[in-house]
Amino acid sequence: MRKQDVAEKRVKQAGLAICMEEIHMADLGIPQNTIGVLQKYQFHFQKKFGQNFLIAPHILEKIVDAAQITTEDCVLEIGPGIGTMTQYLAESAREVVAVEIDRALIPILQDTLSAYDNVTIINEDILKVDVQQIVEKRNQGRPIKVVANLPYYITTPIIMSLLESHVPLQSITIMVQKEVAERMQVGPGTKDYGALSLAVQYYARPEIVAHVPANCFMPRPNVDSTVIRLTRYERPPVEVADEKHMFALIRASFNQRRKTLANGLANGMGLSREQVSAALEEMGLPVTIRGEALTLRQFAQLSNLLKGQKLYS
């Protein structure tokens, strides 16, 4: 819905005559307005749901800009809270589907988003939602964009289920804990490198958008936050015969981080040390190498070799 249309609707509802040009509808990011809504509904924050609401209009604008939302887009928002970012998204996108787990927030969302006719609120745990069905019903199967200030207690499961499920997605623009954003970006040889880095980099191109201090939230989290955009690849950057096997290999390697790859995979994947050593030798790698030293391409090669594929590259 256009900003002007929303403004007109609100003005009609309120019986006011104000200059339309002066109205900025997405107004919840202003701290006083958030406090007003919380007080009106006597809302109590639930720590177990990772509730830290954004109170920084410049950050909200940055997130929506980074997500490159257009009036063609269908956006999935995870955890709308009181609807702060949802308002911004509704003004830029064709349609927004917002999935919120906390039942207490639903009447608040119905109120704060009442002026928008392009928002659907679903009261559900995002991990139980059939995102594929949303894509088909709301966007005729075309790729959607995901935007969220994520609840930090389930950041990794949410990202992994979105990526691994292969639902049509253009991009995922999310606020996460700073350390998690760093883990998504790094390569081999760093302490943060692990299964999440490899999974994200197999499916998408990660780019840090902004670092966000704790005072941009209510209540303030105990950690620093970062906005990161993951742009989904049309085709992964490496070729692998069996994706599931490669990721099982990656998980087994990092579960036994301190062991050599040959020992770790012998334990974790039921392979013989000889099999792994032979594959490593064929790749020109020392048999004493640890998993944390392998690039995504090398994990793909190793998986292909262990699945009986020839090494071409």
DSSP state of 27: -
- Residue 64 in contact with ligand SAM, rule: CB under 6 A: no
For ligand SAM, the closer CB: 81 or 291: 81
d(CA 47, CA 42): 16
Query: Measured from the CB of residue 140, what is the shortest distance to ligand SAM in angstroms?
Result: 24
Query: Measured from the CB of residue 138, what is the shortest distance to ligand SAM in angstroms?
Result: 17
- Residue 81 in contact with ligand SAM, rule: CB under 6 A: yes
Query: Measured from the CB of residue 205, what is the shortest distance to ligand SAM in angstroms?
Result: 24
Nearest-10 Cα torsion for 261, 266, 271, 276 = 30
CB 182 within 8 A of CB 192: yes
Q: Which stretch binds ligand SAM (CB under 6 A): 125-133, 137-145, 198-206, 296-304?
A: 125-133
d(CA 21, CA 204): 39
d(CA 55, CA 58): 9
> 225-232 and 169-177 as β-strands: parallel, antiparallel, unpaired?
antiparallel
Residue of 294, 112, 281, 276 whose CA lies nearest to 197: 294
Radius of gyration of the chain (CA): 23
DSSP state of 221: P
- Residue 102 in contact with ligand SAM, rule: CB under 6 A: yes
Which of 51, 87, 260, 303 touches ligand SAM (CB under 6 A)?
51
Give the SS3 label for residue 71. coil
- Residue 99 in contact with ligand SAM, rule: CB under 6 A: yes
Which of 54, 108, 146, 306 touches ligand SAM (CB under 6 A)?
54
d(CA 43, CA 160): 31
Which of 61, 125, 239, 274 touches ligand SAM (CB under 6 A)?
125
- Residue 53 in contact with ligand SAM, rule: CB under 6 A: yes
- Residue 156 in contact with ligand SAM, rule: CB under 6 A: no
Query: Measured from the CB of residue 56, what is the shortest distance to ligand SAM in angstroms?
Result: 10
Q: What angle do CA 141, 143, 148 make, to 5 degrees?
A: 125
Secondary element (H or E) of residue 112:
helix 106-112
- Residue 100 in contact with ligand SAM, rule: CB under 6 A: yes
- Residue 116 in contact with ligand SAM, rule: CB under 6 A: no
Q: Which stretch binds ligand SAM (CB under 6 A): 14-22, 76-84, 271-279, 283-291?
A: 76-84
Query: Measured from the CB of residue 200, what is the shortest distance to ligand SAM in angstroms?
Result: 20
- Residue numbers of the site for ligand SAM (CB under 6 A)? 49-54, 78-81, 84-85, 99-102, 105, 125-127, 149, 151, 154
